[in-house]
Structure 1
Amino acid sequence: MATDSQGVQHEPSAKEVRLVIAASSAGTVFEWYDFFIYGTLATLIGQAFFPADNETLSILLVWAGFAVGFGFRPLGAILFGYLGDKLGRKYTFLVTVTLMGIATAGVGLVPGAETIGLWAPAIVLLFRVLQGLALGGEYGGAAIYVAEHAPAEKRGLYTSFIQASVVGGFVLSIIVVIACRTLIPAEEFNAWGWRVPFLLSIVLLLISLWMRMKLSESPVFQAMKAEGKMSANPFKESFTYPGNHKRIFIALFGITGILTTIWYTAFFSGLSFLRGPMRMENSLVEWILLIAGLVAMSFYIVVGKWSDRVGRKKPIVLGAGLTLVLLFPVFWGIGALANPGLQESARAAPVTVAGPECSFDPFAEVQDSDCGKLLEDLTSLGIPYDIADAGSETVALQVGATSHAMNGEGAIAWDDAVSRRGQVQQWLEEAGYDFSRQTPPLLNILGIIALLLVLGMLSALTYGSVAALLTEMFPPQIRYSSMSIPYHIGAGYLGGFLPLIAGFIVATTGNAYAGLWYTWAVVAFGLVVAWWGLPDGPPRDFSDEHS
């Protein structure tokens, strides 16, 4: 039940509900599109703004830029959460969507590093900061706005459209990229056409503003304002309100930590895994993620509706537990279907490296040792490797039964990265490794989509009911701040840094699956917190007696 400004409860009309959900969801789709287009075009952004001889370093710098935006989400949550609790839900998220649209379009206008040097990555990072600030205020505003219009018995269903819209932003980014690749020749798309999806953000911004301007303020906020129950300092009270320390801890680790790491593993790690180590054809990967994302959007609606009946805790605990069991097997299955030849070659001709100072620093422009340079080459080629335990005075590459001594007169030009990598690739190809872009059979492609949908269901179980749950956890007068702060700390740091952390783990271990351990550990801890801290039973509105 919603409440009007005179404190009278009423059932929102069907028209009002449709407008609230549509406008809030559309704005969320557009805003997350703006944020995700950066990750969808990660490779081209690396070439334009973060060029490096070390290809692994280039892509890690892109993910570092991705993480910078997420790192500023908590600050945006504090700023816009304060404004949302003081000035209102509607006008606050009008500001956030405007800031996001302008910042995203700005990225599309920044000249490349070849033109303006280090100013290019610096300006891009500044725009990422603005995006992070905007996103920090967007989710809480949209989620609360819908929740405060929803009847209690349908709050999970209505707010689930917000979670589905986050996936919708990712899907829209892929649709736009596919359309641009289709309309713009490949060479021109790589040179300048990749900027078009960023510039399109201005059009999406205008549509979102038009829709959101048609909305009225949240009835719960209007009632609080009319009754003089506004918070004097929402940020301060978020940490002094009785019981809020526990609620914030649970929201951070038992809710957000779980949902955000599963979400980014399902979609971004899936995208990077197929494009990178599995070497699948880029456009095919985009179509696979598009289909999986479109289907998975419906899962969030189903879970949100289910949570209205069984409560918010059960889906989250179930999804987290299943993730611990299924995460590695699902990715192993995707790898086996995406590039079966790679796994067969790795079994038939395993790669072992020996040599002095044999370690790889992914963040170094130039490796300190020859053995480190060899590991850099293997990592950039997506080849799993082991390092021999025994000490060696010379660098050697063992591929199956064949050993290649890489030191000595006329052996290999260590300082010529192109020819060195070409020689390593030739030896690997002679042992049966295939470095062409892969297009698996249709049955394999369908299998990959099915496994991605398993990941999508795990994400939906842990995410579909969250907007309703977080709204119910915190008192209305500090709700925007109290739910936004832990949500964006968790999503900003535990989730936003996932591509960077997982990429670093993969690069330093040579194991394409090793980065999944980060997700597994965060989810395992979160499951303990959720089991302990989330309320059992059917959903209920916030009450100090139940806190």
Structure 2
Amino acid sequence: MTKDEKRVILASSAGTIFEWYDFYLYGSLAAMIGAQFFSAFPEATRNVFALLAFAAGFLVRPFGALVFGRLGDIVGRKYTFLMTILIMGTSTFLVGLLPGYASIGWAAPIILIALRMLQGLALGGEYGGAVVYVAEHAPQDRRGYFTSWIQTTATLGLLMSLLVILACRSYLGEKDFADWGWRVPFLLSIFLLIISVYIRMQMEESPAFTKMKEEGRTSKAPLSEAFGQWKNAKFALIALLGLTAGQAVVWYTGQFYALFFLQNVLRVDLLTTNVLIAWALIIGTGGFVFFGSLSDRVGRKVIILAGCLIAAITYFPVFNYITATANPQLHKAHQSVEVVVIADAKNCSFQFNPTGTSKFTTACDIAKATLARSSVQYTTESKAGATETVVKIAGKEIHSYDASKLTGDEAKTVPAAFTKSVNDALGAAGYPVPGVANTEIVKTSGFFDIFRAQPLKLIVLLTFLIILVTMVYGPIAAALVELFPTRIRYTGMSLPYHIGNGWFGGLLPATAFAMSAEAGNIYTGLWYPIVIAVGTLIIGAIFVPENRNKDIFADDK
């Protein structure tokens, strides 16, 4: 690799790492941000709103792809993704300065959501610009290797955000970090922004774009040319359904859902969860470059689809083993304790509540929600015409209640009594319950407190999930670049990538959790990534062309 080629990759990758760092900070600190900006609501509701504000950044990514993709194909690669880093970095810094709800009222959450949407728009334009810029500098036979360095940036950005948060928590202490210290990682991003802008100002425009512009062959209307003409639009559809949808769910399952599963389902503490994920990221990140380079020899398609296939086959046993290793007491209870909810099916709702405003008050809904919060495996027995809902735990029956019928002091005493009865019965049957020490659950005291069998096994399992991520993600940039001609490449590849990752992937944790809660099984949500991965495997095998030896400039005239 020449000095100039190294500089191109470093300049593109460094700025993109910083953008992902900015983006992931919010997700890692969503609960604390919710307490600051949505404090007008009860705790459960404000956490939902905080996560929805996080999701807003994902949902607007395709629109950012359209806006900045068009600019990139008209104005140029360099100045477009210089603009995206400025928007992202400034928005993140302002989150660190933004007063909370207690200071400025409703203006606080409104401004917060606006800043999150700006972050999402900027990210929608960043990735395509960085990938196209590197690909158009790369030798034809090493395009997968060169672009795979960009693929490491999302994982490295996540890792950087986790390490900065861990350092701040350790230095400031939990109380100060929750009160005001959570702002520090956001404020530190100003230094990353300055470095990124300086690096990108030194870059030259892509030679392929420069030559095309000098010859007057740039697209005047890249959106209509990319998506209004079937010869190009069909490749956008193929890219979405045959590549990025499956890549996205494998990527988000291996990184974000695994983190969510450990912390929220298995009740592993935040420090331990972050330490385990961080080590898996450190060990597995080299896979991006390995599989990117391998795709130059064997093809992009075969590696990506193989990753989807292996994920679909292994997710159930791997997550089951994660449970058995991280929280053995919970795993044993799942195997040995029978829990049944007996109710009239007409009184049971699908408790998917994306806005946090729906009220589930029936006795059946309350029973299921209480069990789901304790990660209990249960079945539902439908009993037509039943006037009561009964939770049967290892033979012990507990009657649920209808919240809409409670008044006065009953509204406080009855729910508390029901929850206590359920927890007491679960604890007596063998389930881990809140307030009772669980000595079997995995725990680390620091970043290097991992050299014991339990955390090491978990790091191996999590690293396996990261390796699957690198299989599907390492070659994807080169595969997408090779589907579109230079004149519309930035626009054409950005939209399917960000619909796949922003929508199919970004909504995975919430969707998977809702499915698991409805079924009474903590693993049911895994069907979401499995079905999409298998769909991508089938569509990709039939329709995606193998273009690793393609001259990506040959069809521009």
Unaligned runs of 5+ in 1: 1-12
Match of 1:359 in 2: 349
1:443 Cα offset (Å): 1.4
Query: Residue 366 of structure 2 aligns to which amino acid in structure 1?
Result: K
Query: 5+ unaligned residues in a row in structure 2: which ranges?
Result: 444-449
Query: Which amino acid is 2:382 matched to?
Result: D
> What pairs up with 1:165-314 in 2 under 5 angstroms?
165-241=153-229, 243-314=231-302
Query: Which deviates more from structure 2 when the two are superposed, residues 248-257 or residues 438-447?
Result: 438-447
User: What amino acid is aligned across from residue 492 of structure 1 in structure 2?
Assistant: G
**Amino acid in structure 1 at the alignment position of 2:513:** G
From 503, 527, 530, the equivalent of 1:520 is 530
Q: Is the 8 A contact 2:341 2:379 kept in 1?
A: yes
Query: Counterpart amino acid of 2:394?
Result: G
State the shift of 1:426 in Å.
3.0
Alignment partner of 2:285: what SS? helix
Please give the alpha-carbon distance, in whole angstroms, between the structure 2 residues aligned to 1:47 and 1:428.
30
Specify the alignment match of 2:368 in structure 1: 375
State the shift of 1:34 in Å: 1.1
Alignment correspondent of 1:431: 429
1:370 is displaced (CA, Å) by 3.0
1:394 aligns with 2:388: yes
* Identity among equivalent pairs (%): 39
Residue 458 of structure 1 pairs with residue 456 of structure 2: no
Could you tell me how far 1:22 is from its partner in structure 2? Answer: 0.8
d(CA) in 2 for partners of 1:367 and 1:534? 45
Counterpart secondary structure, 2:55: helix
Whole-angstrom distance in 2 between the partners of 1:116 and 1:97: 28
- Paired residues of 2:312 and 2:533 also in contact (CA < 8 A): yes
In 1, Cα distance between the equivalents of 2:372 and 2:123?
A: 33
Instruction: Please say if 1:27 is aligned against 2:15.
Output: yes
Tell me, yes or no, if the aligned pair for 2:511 and 2:525 is still in contact at 8 Å.
yes
Taking a change above 3 Å as real, the CA distance of residues 121 and 531 of structure 1, as seen in their structure-2 partners, is same
Provide the aligned C-alpha RMSD in A.
2.5
> Under a length normalisation based on structure 2, what TM-score does the superposition of the two structures give?
0.90
> Which residue number corresponds to residue 108 of structure 2?
120
Cα–Cα, structure 1 residues 373 and 46, in superposed 2: closer, same or farther, change >3 Å? Answer: farther
> Which residue identity lines up with residue 195 of structure 2 in the other structure?
I
| 1:480 and 2:481 matched | no
- How far apart are 1:415 and its partner, in Å? 4.3
SS in 2 for 1:210: helix
Does the aligned pair in 1 maintain the 2:292–2:474 contact within 8 Å?
Answer: yes
Distance in 2 of aligned mates of 1:414 and 1:355? 22
Q: Which residue identity lines up with residue 399 of structure 2 in the other structure? A: A
1:30 aligned partner, one-letter code: F
1:492-536 alpha-carbon deviations (Å, 9 max, x no partner)? 211122122223223333322121111111111111121012224
Deviations 1:304-338 (Å, cap 9, x if unpaired)?
00011111111112111111111211111111111
Instruction: Report how many residues are paired.
Output: 532
Cα shift at 1:407: 5.7
Write out per-residue CA displacement over residues 1-42 of structure 1, whole angstroms, 9 at most, x where no aligned residue. xxxxxxxxxxxx711111111111111111011111122223
Given residue 459 of structure 2, which amino acid in structure 1 is its aligned partner?
A: I
Number of the residue aligned with 1:504: 514
- Separation in structure 1 between the aligned mates of residue 138 and residue 199 of structure 2, nearest angstrom: 19
Partner of residue 490, structure 1? 500
**Distance in 1 between residues matched to 2:375 and 2:49, nearest whole Å:** 18
- Does the 8 A contact of 2:30 with 2:54 survive in 1? no
**How far, CA to CA, are the matches of 2:365 and 2:412 in structure 1?**
12
Aligned partner of 2:58 in structure 1 is: 70
| Mapped partners of 1:267, 1:26: distance in 2 | 21
Which residue of 2 is the match for residue 3 of structure 1?
Answer: none
| Cα distance change of structure 1 residues 193 and 101 upon mapping to structure 2, 3 Å threshold | same
Give the partner amino acid of 2:390. A
Equivalent of 1:318, from 306, 319, 322? 306
